[in-house]
Amino acid sequence: MKNCFYCNTIKEIKKGTSKVFLAELKHSYVILHAGGQYFKGYCILFTKNHKEHTHKLPLKLQIGLYKDMMQVAAAINKVCKPDRFNYENLGNICHHIHWHIAPRYKNDKYKQLPIWQIPEKVRPGKRTEKEKEELIKKLKRYL
């Protein structure tokens, strides 16, 4: 679909030009959230085709996407050792079905808040491009 962030990302993945691509799983693609590394290992998982409503997918695909999501969480857990995970499937702005998989850490002083409510200026731990590349390399080993 035109003007869809994730459809455009899929085109980049297929061309080999995505700098944040992690893996093609059975039912989804996974990327590192380029701007979201204040939560080290924060990834986005999205459907391979433009679908907009999770509840309208065949149950088998819903379950498959959940399995893919748990595969990503296991990889993040091995590499980053977070305290817990936040999973969010919103679709309010970009309708293409996607999940935010955000690891949360013990030293996060805003851990009682959903990730969206933490003011951007106080979000800790932004990563350099080199740190993101290293993180992608490590995560790929487990995906």
Determine, following the binding rule CB under 5 A, whether residue 1 of this chain makes contact with Zn ion: yes
Quick one: which segment of 31-39, 90-98, 115-123, 127-135 binds Zn ion (CB under 5 A)?
Answer: 90-98
Token digits of residue 42: 């924060």
Determine, following the binding rule CB under 5 A, whether residue 96 of this chain makes contact with Zn ion: yes
Quick one: which segment of 4-12, 29-37, 60-68, 69-77 binds Zn ion (CB under 5 A)?
Answer: 4-12
Determine, following the binding rule CB under 5 A, whether residue 94 of this chain makes contact with Zn ion: no
Determine, following the binding rule CB under 5 A, whether residue 49 of this chain makes contact with Zn ion: no
* Amino acid letter, residue 59: L
How do 84-88 and 98-104 pair as beta strands? Answer: antiparallel
Q: State the minimum distance, in angstroms, from the CB of residue 49 to Zn ion.
A: 8
Q: Is the distance from CB of 54 to CB of 15 less than 8 angstroms?
A: no
Determine, following the binding rule CB under 5 A, whether residue 6 of this chain makes contact with Zn ion: yes
3 state SS of 128 = coil
List of residues 6+ apart from 23 with CB closer than 8 A: 29, 30, 72, 140, 143
- Residues in touch with Zn ion (CB under 5 A): 1, 4, 6-7, 50, 96
